[in-house]
Chains A and B, each alone.
Chain A
Amino acid sequence: MKFLFASLLLTTASLAAPAVQAGAALDDIKSGDALVCLVSPNAPGFSVPDSQGVFQGFNADFCRMAAAAVLGDAAKADIRGVGFSDSMKTLVARGGHLASRSITATGTRDADAGMAFIATTFFDGQGFMVPAALGVSAAADLQGATVCAEDGSTTLLTLADWFADRGMSYRVENIADKTARLEAFFSGKCDVYASDVTALNSDRMLAANPDDYVILPDVISAEPLTLVSQPDQELESAVFWAFQVMLNADKFGITSGTIDDVIADLDSQPQEVARLFAADGAGADMAAKLGLPADWAYQVVKQVGSYSEVFDRHLGMNSPFKLDRTKTLNASVEEGGLMYPYPIR
């Protein structure tokens, strides 16, 4: 998800970055009639190829969102699975237009030329999973624990900082391969398994008996997982506002299933909804200025869905992971989360 040498590569990449030209990426997408979108090759729930070799998942759907907004057809997203370090390079070298692969937005990354953070699609944070039998209820009890974590990841840095800040001792068991790492934890080689909370939730399901393991309430890092694109004002705006359309759809309870009914009877809808979807509304106005199809907002909701719809499809109640979105930071503001729909007018 986020390897140490990424920063090094980003530096290398920025040296090679060609001069930025506004609108070039968007023009390139339109002239090629395809939006090249980079995802992680195997992140369960986020982006994994299905049996037909087509990427499916939460992150993959934001590729489709961008393609629906810019080209009017979600199927025109050319979704490619590339490794983390490689995706930055490919993006900068103009091989990809967009990266939707759980990249944590950080200051130094944003300061690098050659790529732009657009919109945070998922708020995550690092946490701990322990066997229920250990009887630990908070991370503060983990003095002297053996922690299983991914070799070479920022997880290790966060762990080191956290334990050092509290003057606690710990031992770390670095295992690069995920299957082996989980096996080490489930077989009792480590007391604690450290990873992002979402990953912990899905990994817990792989235990023979998931109820034997609990996820501690402590979240020890901030991981705003954000869409990244080539620097291009118009493309960034298009993708950012397409994401806002998905959040707004949730605000008004519109889904891909109900959008056609909404459109059919716009007069009875709230003003904000009418502005979003009407042919003479703010949405269409934006489309003209950004050079998008006039019905871009409709296409995003129709072909991809609202934010909660996408979440539930791949991570939430309609998926094997059964994550309750309303209990995460990804709940809407009204539900106490961080997802705040910007107004489109």
Chain B
Amino acid sequence: MWKSRRLAPLGQAFRTPLSALLSLATLALCLPLLWVALHWLVLSAVWPWQPAALCQSQTGTCWPFVAEKLNLILFGTYPREELWRPVVTSVLLCAMTVQTGLQMTGRGLPLRLGQTALLWLLALGLSFALMAGGVLGLAPVDSIRWNGLPILLLLSVGAIALAFPAGIVLALARDQDRVPMLARLAAGYIEIARGVPMLTFLFVGIFVLPLMLPPDTRISPVAATLVALIVFHAAYFAEDIRGGLHALPAGQAEAAHALGLPYATTAGRVLLPQAIRRALPSIVNSVIGAYKDTSLVVVVGIHDLTATARMAFSDPEWRSFALEGYFVVGLWFFVTCAFLSMVGRQLHRHSPAR
């Protein structure tokens, strides 16, 4: 009936009287919402080139607020004369994430695993060095001034990149029977980490971890939070990978054993590549969860995007624009999570069959 492929969904929506009725009802529900959104974002919005004073009389988005405060929302209180450092850090970490995501779906630069790992270590090291300064003639900047986007990326991407290898080790430790003690330790660790809310981990990282260190050593809140996030997420990655290991036919391990392969080779060359591939969809799921959870660090006093947005509308001159501030943050999370789930969908389509 509908020749064009693009119109095919429309044909389905009105195929039977019932589906037509449901489609119309859904439209009737959505249209007012869309109208409200359009009104707020466009029709009664104040554009960046208009005077900010107009915002008081208009009911729509106050774009002058966003234009005025965008630097503050993205980079917080990082010294303005050094602004290129958080900018480079953010671009670097975004580029690495996009590259790895595309690579997993077979479209990015075809790098080997070792190269990817090395590149990640380099990128993370460079990011920390850029943000902290004190090397290469860069002025030192205290970690309390690492705000907004770069700290969100450093903590989420850094925690995920470092928790993943830790998760592999944990999964292997739990899934072997040569050293039962190690298996039990790994199982205990995973169950504890998964049985405790992330907030507890954050508080432990911020308040208890420094007490456990030798006196006179200072650990920055950012480092303590990163450790807490790694410890927490490693357990989830371990369980994802263990699921992949369990999905493998027992014959794989037995065949490798029969060939006389040592354990390290069996795990590294036979089991893990297959297990990780099978577990990819759930790993991507954990990655998205971990990324979004990172905004919780605001409760331990790290000023990520949400916190800088709040700073932006705490300015006495701009106090009634909370919605605009949160909108910018929401938009960022929406776009980035959409990318991650796009990667996830592609993996779903291609991966497990191989």
Contacts and interface: CB of A to CB of B under 8 A. Distances in A.
Whether both chains belong to one complex is answered with: yes
Interface stretch (B2-10, B38-46, B69-77): B69-77
A53 B79 contact: yes
Nearest to B301: A83
A116 to B, nearest CB: 21
Interface string A200-242: 0010011000000000000000000000000000000000000
Interface string A38-55: 000111110011111111
A42 B319 contact: no
B108 to A, nearest CB: 34
Interface in B211-251: 211, 215-216, 218, 221
Interface in B66-88: 68-69, 71-72, 75-80
Interface stretch (B20-28, B184-192, B285-293, B308-316): B308-316
Contact of A52 (B80, B216, B311, B322): B80
Contacts of A202: 316
A49 B77 CA distance: 7
Contacts of A42: 307, 310-311, 314
A44 B319 contact: yes
A202 B71 CA distance: 25
Contacts of A277: none
Nearest to A84: B301
B334 interface: no
Contacts, number: 88
Interface in B88-108: none
Contacts of A81: 77, 144, 303, 311
B14 interface: no
Chain A CB within 10 A, most for which of B80, B207, B210: B207
Interface string A74-105: 00001011110110010001010000000000
B72 A53 contact: yes
A18 B218 CA distance: 13
Contacts of B315: 44, 48-51
Nearest to A203: B319
B317 interface: yes
Interface in A273-321: 314, 319-321
Given A43-B314, A81-B303, A86-B301, A320 B319 contact: yes
A49 B147 CA distance: 12
A80 B211 contact: no
Interface bin, chain B: 35 or more
Contacts of A80: 77, 142, 144-145
A86 to B, nearest CB: 4
B320 interface: yes
B220 to A, nearest CB: 9
B344 to A, nearest CB: 31
B77 A319 contact: no
A93 B213 CA distance: 13
A202 B142 CA distance: 31
A32 to B, nearest CB: 11
Given A53-B72, A53-B76, A83-B301, A41 B319 contact: no
Interface in B305-338: 307, 310-311, 314-317, 319-320, 322
A55 B72 CA distance: 11
Contacts of B79: 53
A48 B314 contact: yes
A16 B310 contact: no
B301 A48 contact: no
Contacts of B72: 49-53
Interface of B: 68-69, 71-72, 75-80, 142, 144-145, 147, 206-207, 210-211, 215-216, 218, 221, 300-301, 303, 307, 310-311, 314-317, 319-320, 322
9 contacts: A12-B211, A16-B211, A41-B307, A44-B315, A53-B79, A53-B147, A81-B144, A93-B210, A320-B317
4 A-B pairs closest in CB distance: A83-B301, A42-B314, A86-B301, A53-B77
Given A49-B315, A202-B316, 12 more contacts: A12-B211, A15-B211, A16-B211, A42-B310, A44-B319, A48-B311, A49-B72, A52-B72, A53-B79, A81-B303, A86-B301, A321-B316
